[in-house]
């Protein structure tokens, strides 16, 4: 069953769905665009990498090592070191670091690999205030200041709509209709919009 909404499906914005949709969307778009480009252009998939470290208040000093391993020692020092007693190693818990990758498309000239166009499918990472957004805006500014074309596709509530055929293909292939309506749109719909959206949600089987 194809997506029942006449455009972007707001249920795809759920946190546990959006990244999957994002990563399915771009390879398919690469195929569609690549089949229509002149022979001297190629489409490539690359990715942004965002490293999310814990805030300062969640970090703590773990201490300095009492023993280190040297590459070489004089014979006398090596014998002395062999008799030194060591304590059991300490076990510490390191703060987790979340690494997020988001794909984007590049169109390049096949002959000299010159970058012609960058195509971005915007995610919450790009849109909401955060160091990730600042990193993306920095790259965006460099592209806009160059001769490279930048195409941004914003499907996050109220932005430009993508071609329906692409949405339906990904929706069907990923079988989103079998589970995304068990959750709720994020961000939440207003009461009037929720009533409007309800008419498109397929009944549960």
| pLDDT tens digits, one per residue of 113-137 | 999 999 999 888 888 877 888 888 8
The answer on pLDDT for 23 being more than 50 is yes
Tell me the C-alpha distance between 115 and 148, whole Å: 6
Judging by beta carbons within 10 Å of its beta carbon (0-12, 13-18, 19+), is residue 56 exposed, middle or buried? exposed
125/132 Cα distance (integer angstroms): 6
Pick the residue with more confidence: 204 or 22?
A: 22
Contact 127, 120 (CB under 8 A): no
Cα(172)–Cα(162) distance, rounded to whole angstroms?
A: 16
**Residue indicated by tokens 């430009």:** 160
Residue 131 lies in a domain: yes
What is residue 55's predicted lDDT score, i.e. its pLDDT? Answer: 66
Domain assignment present for residue 87? The answer is no
> Domain count of the chain?
1
pTM of the model: 0.64
pLDDT greater at residue 197 or residue 79: 197
The answer to whether the beta carbons of residues 170 and 24 sit under 8 Å apart is yes
> Residue 142 falls within a domain, yes or no?
yes
Reply yes or no on whether the pLDDT at 93 is more than 80. Answer: no
In a domain, 89, yes or no: no
Owning domain of residue 205:
1-47+97-205
- Give the pLDDT band of residue 163 (cuts 50, 70, 90): very low
Could you tell me the two tokens for 129? 């205030």
Task: Write down the residue that tokens 């709509």 correspond to.
Answer: 161
> How many residues belong to the chain?
205
| Residue 153 in domain | yes
Burial 138-157 (b: 16+ CB within 10 A, else e): eebeebeeeebeeeebbbbe
Closest CA to 104 of 138, 145, 153, 142: 153
The answer to whether residue 74 sits within a structural domain is no
Structural domain includes residue 56 = no
Q: Is residue 88 part of a domain?
A: no
First and final CA of the chain: distance in angstroms? 13
- Positive or negative: CA dihedral 100, 48, 16, 192: positive
For residue 184, give the nearest of 21, 5, 13 by alpha carbon.
Answer: 13
């Amino acid at each position: 069953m194809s997506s029942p909404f006449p455009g972007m499906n707001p249920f795809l914005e759920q946190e546990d769905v959006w990244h999957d949709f994002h990563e399915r969307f771009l390879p398919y778009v690469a195929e569609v665009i690549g089949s229509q480009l002149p022979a001297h252009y190629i489409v490539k998939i690359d990715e942004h990498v965002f490293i999310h470290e814990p805030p300062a208040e969640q970090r703590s000093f773990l201490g300095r090592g009492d023993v280190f391993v040297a590459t070489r020692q004089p014979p006398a020092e090596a014998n002395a070191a062999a008799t030194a007693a060591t304590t059991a190693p300490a076990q510490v818990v390191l703060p987790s670091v979340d690494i997020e990758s988001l794909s984007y498309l590049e169109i390049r000239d096949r002959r000299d690999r010159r970058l012609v166009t960058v195509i971005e499918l915007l995610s919450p990472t790009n849109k909401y205030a955060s160091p990730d957004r600042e990193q993306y805006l920095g790259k965006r500014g460099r592209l806009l200041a160059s001769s490279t074309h930048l195409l941004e596709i914003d499907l996050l509530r109220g932005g430009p709509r993508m071609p329906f055929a692409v949405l339906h293909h990904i929706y069907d292939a990923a079988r989103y209709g079998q589970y995304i309506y068990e959750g709720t749109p994020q961000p939440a719909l207003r009461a009037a919009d929720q009533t409007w959206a309800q008419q498109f949600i397929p009944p549960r089987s």
